[in-house]
Amino acid sequence: MAQAKTTVRHAPPPVRSGSRDAAVLGASVRIRGRISGEGDLSILGSVEGDVSVRGDLTIGDGARVASETLEAHAVTIAGELDGDVSASGPVRLASTARVHGDLKGSEISIEEGAQFAGRLEADFELPAALGKAR
């Protein structure tokens, strides 16, 4: 007897402050306003507003985010971002990323093919042979 296959469709969980679960803003979601939370956040749609999460932030391929500040632990960007990133963890731009803004994080990597314009501010010293860095 063939087993009937049941497709269960869940609405993407709302962005809840205090939730440790990963929140996903689906591709058709458009938000204008500030987003904050404790857990991870994955943006697949469009967001216009500041984002501040304690967990990891992912901006998916096809997503579009415009903000003044983006705060998170680890940040992975495969979509479009117009805004500065302030991460306590690593910041990674995938090859499909299109980012305009300054990036700050424990480590910043940019895959070849990514479009980027902005400042990178890593904390390090140049060897003594190069004198004081500007």
Segment contacting other proteins (CB under 8 A): 4-12, 17-25, 53-61, 115-123? 115-123
CB of 39 to other proteins, least distance (A): 19
The backbone torsions φ and ψ at residue 88, rounded to the nearest 5 degrees and listed phi first, read -90, -15
Angle at 87 between CA 84 and CA 91, to 5 degrees: 85
CA separation for the pair 19, 41 (Å, rounded): 10
Contact string 84-113 vs other proteins (x = CB under 8 A): ------x-x-----x-xxx----xxxxxxx
Which residue, 5 or 112, is less far from other proteins as judged by CB? 112
Position 69 contacts other proteins (CB under 8 A): yes
Position 14 contacts other proteins (CB under 8 A): no
CB of 30 to other proteins, least distance (A): 9
The backbone torsions φ and ψ at residue 86, rounded to the nearest 5 degrees and listed phi first, read -125, 100
Quick check: helix, strand or coil at residue 47?
Answer: strand
Which residue, 3 or 99, is less far from other proteins as judged by CB? 99
Angle at 100 between CA 26 and CA 69, to 5 degrees: 65
Which residue, 2 or 117, is less far from other proteins as judged by CB? 117
Position 34 contacts other proteins (CB under 8 A): yes
Quick check: helix, strand or coil at residue 19?
Answer: coil
- Across the strands, what pairs with 92? 76, 109
Contact 70, 53 (CB under 8 A): no
- Interaction site with other proteins (CB under 8 A): 32-34, 46, 48-50, 64, 66, 68-69, 80, 82, 90, 92, 98, 100-102, 107-122, 124, 126-127, 129-131, 133-134
